[in-house]
Amino acid sequence: MWEYTDTVCEHFFTPRNVGSIPDADAVGEVGSLACGDVLKLYLKIDKDERIVDARFQTFGCASAIASSSALTEMIKGKTVDEALKITNKDIADFLGGLPREKMHCSVMGREAFEAAIRNWRGEPSTPVQLEGRLICKCFGVTDGQILRAIRDNKLGTVEEVTNYTKAGGGCGGCVDEIAALLDAEFGQKALMPLKPVKKRPMSNIERMQKVMATLNDVVRPRLQHDGGDVELIDIEGKTVMVALRGTCLDCPSSRLTLDGFIQRTLRDQVDPEIVVMEAEA
């Protein structure tokens, strides 16, 4: 289970500036549902090029939601040029830090803002320097994106590149190419990821305890904030049966709540193979 700061939890449970701006002056979108995280950012910019409003819609984990919320708070009131100086490290620092495996969420926030400003200026959606050869097919990451992450964050290992870009975090087939980019950048042999240490399989009792704790401490407070709730019905191995309650019960987005939020949260914090199913009424 990831260790989150109080600020990350605050921006996850009560995110600021959620939603869209119908008459937005700029819109930037990064990520894809196939890759697991999507962020769409809306901006209102006045005649003095000052950002007077910023709102977001995010499909992703706790770190993605918190990073998006933090970003909107950081850029509101700033001029475009001032806001463009904000780095992904600034976003992570604003939140009191992010787990190293979740730093890509802060990178996504910065990229969404830059995409919105390019939209506002009438420029191409993807900057030339980030185009290039596709390295990671699992997450759609190019060599330009990897090199930028390396240079901006002083990354020196393949594992760090994965933490900041997701590249290499899927099938692993691009690890050698990432190492080659690091070799070329620093003129030395890059450190390869350590072989994972085999851990004792989680027992059924341990999994059940973690599922119940995550539902009570993470999932339910977020749903209750919007008038909804979830009830744990049963756990059979890695299958978790739940029933939606409150406003979630008849919500047209109930499937997204089950798959995109509840299941994703349990996979993120308990077991990546967990399947969440809705109990029959």
Q: Where in the chain are the domains?
A: 6-121, 129-186, 204-278
Confidence of residue 131 (pLDDT cuts 50, 70, 90): low
User: pLDDT of 171-187, one tens digit each?
Assistant: 778 888 988 888 888 77
Kindly name the residue from 35, 61, 174, 248 that is annotated as catalytic.
35
**Token representation of residue 230:** 């979830």
35 in catalytic set: yes
CA pair distance 97, 102, nearest whole angstrom: 10
Fold classification of 6-121 (topology level): Sufe protein. Chain: A (3.90.1010)
The residue from 61, 105, 136, 174 that is catalytic is: 105
Residue pLDDT, tens place only, 29-61: 987 655 567 899 999 999 999 999 999 998 878
Residue 281 has what pLDDT? 63
Position 83 scores a pLDDT of: 95
Question: How far is C-alpha 187 from the chain's CA centre?
Answer: 32
The pTM for the full model equals 0.65
- Write the pLDDT tens digit of every residue in 205-240: 888 888 888 888 888 887 887 778 889 888 888 999
Confidence class for position 194, pLDDT limits 50, 70, 90? very low
- C-alpha 43/C-alpha 55 separation (Å) is 7
- The yes-or-no answer on residue 248 being catalytic is no
Q: What is the amino acid identity at position 244?
A: L
Average pLDDT, the chain: 84
If you average pLDDT over each of 72-76, 188-192, 234-238, which comes out highest?
A: 72-76
Q: Which CATH class is domain 204-278?
A: alpha beta
Question: Is there a contact between 108 and 31 (Cβ–Cβ < 8 Å)?
Answer: yes
Higher pLDDT, 209 or 117: 117
Instruction: Report the percent of the chain where pLDDT is more than 90.
Output: 33
Topology alike, domains 6-121 and 204-278: no
pLDDT higher at 132 or 277: 277
Q: Got the DSSP string for 128-187?
A: GGG-S-EEETTTTEEHHHHHHHHHHHT--BHHHHHHHH-TTSSS-TTHHHHHHHHHHHHT
CATH 1.10.10.1100 applies to domain 129-186? yes
**Has residue 260 got a pLDDT over 80?**
no
